[in-house]
Copies of this chain bind each other. A is one copy, B any other.
Amino acid sequence: MSEAAIIDGKAFAARLRQTIAAEVAALKAEHGLTPGLAVVLVGEDPASQVYVRSKGEQTLEAGMHSETHRLPAETSQAELLALVERLNSDPAVHGVLVQFPVPDHISQAAVVAAISPDKDVDGLTVANAGRLASGLPALTPCTPTGCMMLLRDQLGELSGKRAVVIGRSNLMGKPMAQLLLAADCTVTIAHSRTKDLPAVVREADIVVAAVGRPQMVKADWVRPGAVVIDVGINRIPKDDGKTRLVGDVAFDEVKAVASAITPVPGGVGPMTIACLLANTVLAAKRLNGVGE
């Protein structure tokens, strides 16, 4: 059996951004509509600053309106919620994203609840979880949305495939399962309480690992020919005292068994911001009654 195809999420995301840029250009030309994303950062967390900068840059590169609101760490919850409210009603803004984590004196749940579901391009609100669970048009979380794009690109039709999602977080595992179910997969959700996890994973044509445990999924867990999507991003020590990033899948051994696999880094990761842009375009179209 030959080695797995390595799914190049970086290249896929670059193509997706081009498609989005073309759609944005068409929306401007045909409808006078410029999709806009507002990102709010409270405090000066270094990693958050990097993410927020990337989001702003990629939004601009796609020809969209971008605004970044940098607030001091001592901003009160009321001030933050007031800004979210303003963005909710700003017709130039179609996506509102508050970068998490927020400082401890601010309730993350209160912030999420304040975001208009129609502008909730991170797919975090209870309203969007409910729409997704009910089969209604929703804004879905970016990472599982990106995983679905990679799977469709790799496999074409997903109907009838057996999919196992390892992990059941609200942001990743649960919406991933909903999206796979909507694509007519037979979906199993496994988690820390699952007994004989290797046997459960071996049933799958599609394995999505999203648990945050470095290299947990081994070669003998994977049915030969399965497609493996690795959502984990874990930093582990190297021999030289430095660190490196690995996923939840033991990549080097699983690639000898799977038919296709995402690497870490360079697999699912680059899809997330691209899907954020796609969600913003989708939100802009829905808010303006432009057909999808």
Interface on A for B, CB 8 Å cutoff?
125-136, 159-160, 162, 168, 170, 174, 177-178, 181, 184, 186-191, 193-195, 200, 203
Contact = CB atoms under 8 A, between A and B. Distances in A.
**Copies of this chain per assembly:** 2
B187 A193 contact: no
Contact of A186 (B136, B162, B195): B195
A193 B133 contact: no
Contacts of A168: 181
Given A127-B130, A129-B130, A160-B193, 11 more contacts: A125-B130, A127-B127, A129-B133, A130-B133, A159-B193, A160-B194, A162-B200, A168-B181, A177-B189, A186-B200, A187-B189
A159 B200 CA distance: 15
A120 to B, nearest CB: 11
A145 B117 CA distance: 28
30 contacts: A125-B130, A126-B130, A126-B134, A126-B136, A127-B127, A127-B130, A128-B130, A129-B129, A129-B133, A129-B134, A130-B131, A132-B133, A133-B170, A135-B170, A159-B193, A160-B194, A168-B181, A174-B181, A181-B191, A184-B191, A184-B193, A186-B188, A186-B191, A186-B193, A186-B194, A186-B195, A186-B200, A187-B189, A188-B188, A203-B203
A131 B126 contact: yes
Contacts of A186: 188-191, 193-195, 200
A190 B203 CA distance: 14
Contact of A189 (B159, B181, B203): B181
Given A126-B127, A159-B193, A160-B193, A133 B174 contact: yes
A191 B128 CA distance: 24
Contact of A188 (B125, B135, B187): B187
Nearest to A183: B193
Q: Which of A130, A135, A162 is the most central at the interface, judged by chain B CB atoms within 10 Å of its CB?
A: A130
Leading 4 A-B pairs by shortest Cβ distance: A130-B130, A126-B130, A129-B130, A184-B193
A160 B177 CA distance: 18
Contacts of A184: 191, 193
Contacts of A134: 126, 129, 170
A162 B197 CA distance: 11
Contacts of A126: 127, 130-131, 134, 136
Nearest to A175: B133
Nearest to A135: B170
Nearest to A188: B188
Contacts of A170: 133-135
